[in-house]
Amino acid sequence: MLKNLLPHVHPSRRRALQTLIASFSGMGLCGWMPVLAGATPPGAKRRHCILLWMNGGPSQTDTFDLKPGHPNGGQFQPIATAASGLRISEHLPRLATKAKHLAVLRGLSTNEGDHGRGTFTMRTGRRPDPLVRFPTLGSLVSNALVEQETALPGFIAVNPYFGFDATSFDAGYLGPQFAPLIVKPQASRNGTPFADFGVDNLQPTAPVAAARSTQRLELLKAFQAPVTAQPARGPLLAHRTMLERALQLVSSDAGKAFDLSQETPTVRDKYGRGTFGQGCLLARRLVEQGVSFVEVSLGDGGRWDTHSNNFATVRELSAELDAGWSSLMEDLESRGLLESTTIVWMGEFGRTPQINGSAGRDHFPAAWSAVLAGGGIRGGQSYGRTSADGMSVEDGRIDVGDLLATLCAAIGIDHTHLNVSEIGRPFRIADGKPVRAVLS
Amino acid sequence: MSLKPKRECDQGLNLLKLLSALVACLIGAAVAQGDDLSKASPEAVSARIDRLFEQAWLSAGVAPAPLADDATFLRRVTLDLTGLIPTAGEIRAFQADSRPDKRQIVIADLLTRPRHSNHLARLWREILLPRNTDATAVAAFEAWLQNRFQQNLVYDRLVQDILSARGTVAQSEPAIFFAANSTKPEDLAASSSRAFLGLQVRCAQCHDHPFASWKQSDFWGFAAFYARVQGPAGAGDQTPVDDRADGEVRHPKTLKAMIPQFLDGRQFAESTAEPRRAVLARWITAADNPFFARAAVNRAWWLMFGRGLVQPVDDLGANNPASHPEVLKLLADDFVAGGFDLRRTLQIIAGSKVYQLASQEGGAREGAAAYTAMAVRSLSAAQVYDALLQASGQRVSSPTPEMIRERSAFLAQFDAPSRDALEFQGGIPQVLSLLNGSMVARLTDPTTSDLIAALADSPFLNDRQRIETVFLATVSRSPRNNEWEPMLKIFESKHTAESRAQALGDILWALLNSSEFVLNR
């Protein structure tokens, strides 16, 4: 019977929903947490993924695939890292000390040189298709890791930028239950120099007496009863799920994860004070709470899109990237979480090795880099090689499908698992071949 | 319709095939119908749509849902045509109205309200301007559109006015369309083909599209119409939109200067008498353009049903046929015959029985394509915001640009990727805002809520009537039998006027947070 009530839900998710729906009839606020605590099977290790998303397309030549001695190389020099043989930009010095966790994929070659289409391709592994609403990476991964439901949603996006292509942030055919909880910057609290984030309204703005609060929830329960009792799909199911999730969030203390003021100023400072650094700190706190997939973006409005003044801009961005990313790995490692958390660094495309007349670099999807780090990754190496001028891939060419298949393998997800789209077409999580050489 | 019989380059062959098929289909159907739509009443056209659906249901062996009851219909049509929910008074008056044609009457009334033009202006602004457009420019453009829709300026004129914009963004609001597209030929081409013709030629910008018929040369040939426009690079740029005597776009692979080329293959002849984009605007809005009217009526259908007859709504390419081609054709022909009157098209759709069917419990996406029941749809964040104000007794008249900006700031909090009404668009932040936010707190507190204060103070109402009014104001229906008991039980224990008003506020709070409030059934 319950199977019929929830026809389009992943079986494991269905079990969690059934419990939730059953408990709705006796909805006491504190009833939520115990229900969820048992959702992770005993003995199973929680897995996590953090996407560091670079808005605008980061220059590989000035970050992870330097070309010293060639005119295309530009102003930056490579430096040695903690991994012998792996050299990265001089403006990523702290990350260099963590290089034993990094696998730099230098043979990435994709087809899309437009911001919108590139964003879509890298975040879904697919070309835009008017007939299919493809899910974004976070939805795919959190859906596959659904066993580990927590009071917090499984997919949280910190400060995403929708300007290039909003559909690349959608849960697509997986349904809105797998859409990200979007966390946006808030005005800094108490005049601190740090960026702050928050989910608004976790606490009532105007609290009412406990008796009235209970009365309100009893009434809401009564009005929801017909909705809860009937088979639901589409917006009805989605709203019902969101309402349950929201109640769960306000009735637990999981929402405290968003409060960065619980961290010391020293810790906050080491991550970098901007939205990226503090976003990485938030990502660490969310992973500690069991969230499956967190994404943090760097480059509001597309700052990596350095058609002019490339070097000064990339230098600034590198400083933010270096502080946030290296601190994230350091803290995850000291908490024993790095081995179960896979980090992926990428943008929508790379940038031309040639330097244009405005000291800039333009869009270049033909030969660029992405980086995998942490759990499941054999770090301390680069994979793939571009030519001396950086214009072409000479060895270890991979496309976005291979990158995502490798990421899946590192997280422990079967990338050939088929999800069925709403028009009945099955799609693998990723179409590609995992790069075994970078998997541990 | 004059089509070039054969094009030199074989790249056009696919396109030609598609168009020939389309033309044959259009001519064939027109002969079969053979009557004059310009004299048909909107009601007669609605009835013809219903006959087409009845045939489709019959041949598919499916039965339609019954008609929606009056209150559900009124909530639906008020939301779809004005973006607002009806007031409790409107629902009571409509239920008491015994005229047999009261649904037609209310549709006609809604279409003349300022809120209708405001609603259309918002929708068309979302279609025409990218999401990242500057908020001030958005407000100005929306106000301009609203004014146009309020005058019921015919749709082809509206489109021509946008495409022939001149002057700075400060002087002329249509120039904002150019600013939002950075006055780049490729962006203007992609945006105007998508918005006005429902064609996704952008895919062909970088390479020949593997499935759709557009070739890269089609895209750049179309972009060449905008090659000689100069104007602002963004909303803050005060460069006036104007035409230059020269300027070309080049094919990115062959680097050849592109000659402007219409998307139906017709050739363009350069003239010093008028700028290229004026010729393009005429072609786009021509009565015999095979895409313009279909794209417009498909949008109108999408507005009323949450999905287009062609879905996705902005992809009318040959690879993507309509679910009910005869209905699309009927509406498009009527749109042309009626002089591109969008209001008439909306009136026809709202007046059809297929629009007035009861919703399917669960609102299955699959069932929606057969139209045997109305799909349950989500209110957009803007509709939720307006419905909150409306439900709590604050009158929402035509908003000023200042109010539009204020609301935009509020909505920015809930900016969700999805704009699909068949999905819930709110997300957890919106749900949290209704549960705990200051707005709902204010609207449900007896000391600050207009609705609760008015109801609590009214000596003519008993508790049942007060509760019923709160229901009508929020979910547009009376309480069900089994809902009365818990509510009346609460009132039994409240002996002061204050505690009774609070209880009423608590009922309002629970209704505003229910699934029913944020859905359009």
Q: What average pLDDT score do residues B421-438 get?
A: 79
What mean pLDDT comes out for the span B155-183? Answer: 94
Task: Report the range of poorest mean pLDDT among A115-129, B45-59, B329-343, B419-433.
Answer: B419-433
- Name which of B428, B436, B480, B519 to mutate to probe chain A: the one with the most chain A Cβ atoms within 10 A of its Cβ: B428
What percentage of chain A exceeds 90 in pLDDT?
Answer: 62
Lowest mean pLDDT among B24-28, B174-178, B424-428, B475-479: B24-28
Task: Give whole-number Cα distances, B351 to A347, B44, B73, B110, B370, in Å.
Answer: 49, 10, 11, 12, 18
- pLDDT-derived band at A44 (thresholds 50, 70, 90) equals low
Distance CA A53, CA A162 (A): 12
DSSP assignment of B235-260: TT--PPBEE-S----B-TTT-PBPPP
For residue B421, list chain A residues with Cβ-Cβ distance below 8 A: 235
Is A158 a residue whose pLDDT tops 80?
yes
The whole-angstrom separation of Cα A138 and Cα A129 is 19
Residue A317, C-beta contacts closer than 8 angstroms, at least 6 positions apart = A54, A58, A298, A299, A303, A304
Of all residues in chain A, the one with the smallest CA distance to B505 is A216
Residue A101 CB: number of other CB atoms within 10 A?
Answer: 24
The closest CB to that of A236, out of B427, B433, B515, belongs to: B515
pLDDT of residue A423: 64
CB burial string A385-404: b at 16+ within 10 A, e below: ebeeebeebeebbbbbbbbb
Lowest mean pLDDT among A64-78, A145-159, B281-295, B462-476: A145-159
Element (H, E) at A372: strand A368-374
CB-based burial of residue A282 (10 Å sphere; 0-12 exposed, 13-18 middle, 19+ buried)? buried
Residues of B in contact with A226 (CB under 8 A): 480
**Which chain A residue is nearest to residue B491, measuring alpha carbons?**
A215
| pLDDT, greater one: A33 or B512 | B512
Cβ–Cβ < 8 Å for A260, A308: no
Pairing of strands A341-347, A368-374: antiparallel
Q: Which residue has the higher pLDDT, B27 or A199?
A: A199
The DSSP call for residue A293 is E
Helix (H) or strand (E) holding B20: helix B13-33
Which among A226, A233, A246 is the nearest to B435, CB-wise? A246
Highest-confidence segment of B14-23, B365-374, B391-400, B483-492 = B483-492
Q: What is the pLDDT of residues B286-336, one digit of tens each?
A: 999 989 999 999 999 999 999 899 988 888 888 788 999 999 999 999 999
| Minimal Cβ distance to A201: which of B319, B437, B442 | B437
Q: Which residue of A has its CA nearest to B443?
A: A206
**Set of chain A residues whose Cβ sits within 8 Å of the Cβ of B438:** 205-206
Element (H, E) at B481: helix B481-492
* Sequence-separated (6 or more) residues with CB below 8 Å from residue A111: A121, A127, A365, B206, B207
Q: Report CB contact under 8 Å: B422, A235.
A: yes
Nearest residue in A to B320, CA atom: A131
User: Residue B320 corresponds to which tokens in the numbers above?
Assistant: 């993507």
Is B418–A176 a contact, with Cβ atoms under 8 angstroms apart? yes
Ramachandran quadrant class, B247 (left: phi over 0; alpha: psi -120 to 50; beta: rest): left
Q: Tell me what pLDDT residue A246 has.
A: 87
> Is A176 within 8 Å of B424 when comparing Cβ atoms?
yes
Mean pLDDT of chain A, nearest integer:
86
Read off the tokens for A177.
């239950």
Peptide bond preceding B312: is omega within 30 degrees of 0, i.e. cis?
A: yes
Residue B315 DSSP symbol: -
Q: Report the residue from A130, A217, A246 with minimal CB separation from B432.
A: A246
In angstroms, the CA B409 to CA B315 distance is: 31
Tell me the mean pLDDT in the region B77-93.
Answer: 96
**C-beta separation of A205 from B444 below 8 A:** no
Using CA coordinates, name the residue in chain A closest to B314.
A130
In contact, B213 and B18? CB cutoff 8 Å: yes
Residue type, B454: A
Could B516 and A184 be called an inter-chain contact, meaning their C-beta atoms sit closer than 8 Å? no
Residues of A in contact with B366 (CB under 8 A): 422
Between A203-217, A311-325, B84-98, the lowest mean confidence (pLDDT) is in A203-217
Taking the CA of residue B227 and the nearest CA in chain A, the distance in Å comes to 20
pLDDT of residue A189: 64
Q: How many CB atoms lie within 10 A of CB B11?
A: 15
Q: What is the ipTM of this complex?
A: 0.82
Per-residue pLDDT tens for B354-401?
999 998 764 444 455 789 999 889 888 888 888 988 888 766 566 667
Using a CB–CB cutoff of 8 Å, tell me whether A420 touches chain B.
no
Residue A148: the pLDDT is 54
Band (pLDDT 50/70/90 cuts) for residue A12 is very low
Q: Spell out which residues of chain A touch residue B375, defining contact as CB-CB under 8 Å.
A: 234
- Count of C-beta atoms within a 10 Å radius of residue B254: 11
- Greater confidence (B395 vs B181) lies with B181
Answer yes or no: is pLDDT of A319 > 70. yes
Token pair for B236: 């803050």
How close does chain B come to A31, measured CA to CA in Å? Answer: 18
Kindly compute the dihedral angle of the four CA atoms of residues B281, B283, B287, B289, in this order, to the nearest 10 degrees: -120
Q: Which residues have C-beta within 8 Å of that of residue B318, sequence separation ≥ 6?
A: B18, B21, B22, B212, B213
**A contact test, residue of B133, B184, B191, B435 with most A CBs within 10 A:** B435
Find all residues with CB under 8 Å of B64, minimum gap 6, and list them: B53, B57, B354, B357, B371, B372, B373
Q: Which residues of A touch B510 (CB under 8 A)?
A: 216-217, 219-220, 222-223
Query: Cβ neighbours of residue A211 under 8 Å, at least 6 residues apart?
Result: none
Tens digit of pLDDT for each residue in A376-417? 999 999 999 999 999 999 999 999 999 999 999 999 999 999
pLDDT confidence of B404, banded at 50, 70, 90? low
CA distance A98 to chain B (A): 35
C-alpha–C-alpha distance, residues A271 and A284, integer Å: 11
Q: What number of C-beta contacts closer than 8 Å exist between A and B?
A: 184
Q: For residue B495, is pLDDT > 80?
A: yes
Taking contacts as CB-CB distances below 8 angstroms, the residues of chain B near A129 are 211
Interface touch B436/A240, C-beta < 8 Å: no
Residues 174-213 of A with CB under 8 A from B: 175-176, 179, 181-182, 184, 199-206, 212
Indicate the pLDDT class of residue B403, thresholds 50, 70 and 90: low
Q: Is the pLDDT of residue A332 over 60?
A: yes
Q: From edge to edge, which strands make up the β-sheet containing A196-198?
A: A196-198, A181-186, A155-158, A293-298, A48-54, A341-347, A368-374, A102-108, A381-383
| Interface with chain B: mutation pick from A169, A223, A251, highest number of B CBs within 10 Å | A223
Residues 6+ apart with CB under 8 A from A173: A132, A133, A134, A135, A419, A420, A421, A422
Residues in chain B within 8 Å Cβ distance of A243: 431, 513, 515
Across the interface, whether the CB atoms of A205 and B437 are under 8 A apart is answered yes
Query: Which residue in this structure is represented by tokens 């929306």?
Result: B142
**With bands split at pLDDT 50, 70 and 90, how would you rate the model's confidence at B415?**
low
Partner B contacted by A335 (CB < 8 A): no
Residues of chain A numbered 120-139 and touching chain B (CB < 8 Å)? 128-131
Tens digit of each residue's pLDDT (9 = 90 or more) over A93-119: 999 999 999 999 999 999 999 999 999
What number is the average pLDDT over the span B179-188?
92
Is A165 a residue whose pLDDT tops 80? yes
Q: Kindly identify which residue of chain A lies nearest to residue B359, measuring between CA atoms.
A: A236
Tell the burial category of A341 from Cβ atoms under 10 Å away from its Cβ (0-12, 13-18, 19+): buried
B363 contact residues in A (CB cutoff 8 A): 233-236
- Chain A residue with minimal CA distance to B201? A130
Alpha helices in B39-87 (DSSP H): 42-60, 70-82
Instruction: Give the tens place of pLDDT for each residue, A343-369.
Output: 999 999 999 999 999 999 999 999 999
Contact B429 A181 (CB under 8 A): yes
Distance from CA of B133 to the nearest CA of A (A): 9
Mean pLDDT confidence for A82-90:
96
Residue A223 and residue B416: Cβ atoms within 8 Å? Answer: no
The residue among B436, B444, B474 with the most chain A CBs within 10 A of its CB, best to mutate, is: B436
Instruction: Please give the biggest Cα pair distance in chain A.
Output: 74
B286 CB-contact burial (10 Å; exposed 0-12 / middle 13-18 / buried 19+)? middle
For residue B432, which residues of chain A lie inside 8 Å, CB to CB?
199-202, 246, 249-250
Which residues from chain B sit within 8 angstroms of residue A203, using beta carbons?
436
**Contact by Cβ (8 Å): A311, A359:** yes
CA atoms within 13 A on the CB side of B261: 23
Q: Measured between beta carbons, which residues in chain B are less than 8 angstroms from residue A232?
A: 361-362
Q: Which residues of A touch B361 (CB under 8 A)?
A: 230-232
Measured CA angle at A388 (ends A386, A389), to 5 deg: 95
Q: Which residues of A touch B445 (CB under 8 A)?
A: 206
The percent of residues in chain B predicted with pLDDT above 90, rounded, is 54
Which structural domains are found in chain A, ordered by start? 46-200+257-438 (3.40.720.10)
Q: How far is B206 from chain A (nearest CA, A)?
A: 8
